[in-house]
Structure formats: C-alpha cells, structure tokens
Amino acid sequence: MDLGIETLEKRIAGDIRAFDLRKVGFIVNELAKESTTEASKYAARSFAQAIATGHVRGHAMVSSDYAVKLVNVSNDSSVAGAATKERERQLRIVEEMF
C-alpha cells in the first residue's frame, strides 16, 4: 500500500512518468487477482484504480465503485463508518481545491 501511495504522490509532484505509475497500478491489481475474499478483492481493485487516477481522471469513479462494493459485501459496521469518514475526507479535499 505504501508503494502505491508514494508513487501517486510522486506523480502528483511531477517526479515520475505515467508509465511508471501504471506499472505500480498493475502490481496492486495483481493483489486483487490473488484475493481470497470478495472484500479483499474489492479493496485491492479500488486502490489500484485510485493509483490510476494519476494518469486518467476517470479511474476515480471506478475506484469509488469498488469501494462501494467493498462496503456492500462487508457485514462489519466499522467498514461503513470508515467509508463515511473517507467520503467526508474526500469532500474536504475537493472543497480545499476549489
């Protein structure tokens, strides 16, 4: 996970090429293929798509879709709470940008 976050931050700063970012996204996507549960599969796919936003903005919606699927397959109320906190964090970031 740290690799993905660090790589995306480097892309935002302009320190790496989209090609390099895509390679990391593919690595993370491989984790999804190795997942043994629906929850871990959706979590990995959501993260891979989030990384991919560094070269195509449209991946943000796909990332969000996988995150919603993760919440839907989870019976853990803490997951729903975490999803709400994450959405609120995202909205704060958007507000700060505009």
pLDDT of residue 97: 79
Both tokens assigned to 44? 């990995």
Q: What confidence tens digit (pLDDT) does each residue in 32-90 have? A: 889 899 988 998 898 888 888 877 888 888 888 898 888 888 777 777 787 788 778 88
Q: Which residues contact 48 (CB under 8 A, 6 or more apart)?
A: 4, 25, 26, 28, 29, 31, 32
pTM assigned to the model: 0.68
Q: Quick check: 63 and 53 in contact, CB under 8 A? A: yes
